[in-house]
């Protein structure tokens, strides 16, 4: 099954978003880009973009999502408001792996202004390659689902 990743950034994450898109496409992964254009630094509201990616993931249009803003914080807060989204803000290799292995994160959030861009691509790859471990973590995810209802 072909993997499709939804991506979006606000004006503060557009450069890193473009680097991630190129890396994904070089790996043969399909990308659905919800904006903003790489060459447009016009200020936009990150919640609007986070919602587009989050809904794309929860309705099955895409397998997972990646969101980028200046710090990644705003995107993660906004995406996690959509039921069924488990958006994780990561900042190193360990958190990128754990986001999938323990939390089954379906949306990855990154901050363009706070992490090295080459390392960020490494985080994306680790997150994509990691598998959810299930087991004791399923019980915890069930409790998160209960919080959503």
CA distances from 81 to 2, 86, 127 (A): 27, 9, 21
Q: How far is CA 121 from CA 3, 23, 77, 83, 91, in A?
A: 17, 7, 22, 27, 11
From 29, 37, 30, 32, select the one nearest 13 (Cα to Cα): 37
Cis upstream peptide for 36 (omega within 30°): yes
Residues labelled as active-site residues: 69, 102
- Which residue blocks in 2-108 are alpha helix, DSSP H? 14-26, 46-58, 73-79, 93-101
Which domains, ranges and CATH numbers included, belong to the chain?
A: 4-148 (3.40.1400.10)
Q: What tens-digit pLDDT sequence spans the chain (149 residues)? A: 579 999 999 999 999 999 999 999 999 999 999 988 788 888 999 999 999 999 999 999 999 999 999 999 999 999 999 999 999 999 999 999 999 999 999 999 999 999 999 999 999 999 999 999 888 899 999 999 999 88
């Amino acid at each position: 099954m072909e993997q499709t990743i939804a991506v979006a950034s606000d004006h503060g994450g557009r450069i890193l978003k473009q680097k991630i898109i190129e890396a994904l496409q070089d790996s043969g992964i399909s990308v659905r880009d919800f904006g903003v254009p790489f060459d447009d630094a016009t200020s936009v509201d990150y919640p609007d973009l986070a919602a587009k990616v989050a809904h794309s993931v929860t309705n099955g249009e895409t397998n997972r999502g990646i969101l980028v803003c200046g710090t990644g914080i705003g995107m993660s807060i906004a995406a996690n408001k959509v039921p069924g989204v488990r958006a994780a803000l990561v900042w190193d290799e360990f958190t990128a792996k754990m986001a999938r292995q323990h939390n089954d994160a379906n949306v990855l959030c990154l901050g363009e202004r706070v992490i090295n861009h080459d390392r960020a691509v490494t985080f994306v790859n680790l997150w994509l390659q990691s598998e959810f471990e299930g087991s004791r973590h399923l019980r915890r995810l069930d409790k998160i689902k209960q919080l959503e209802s």
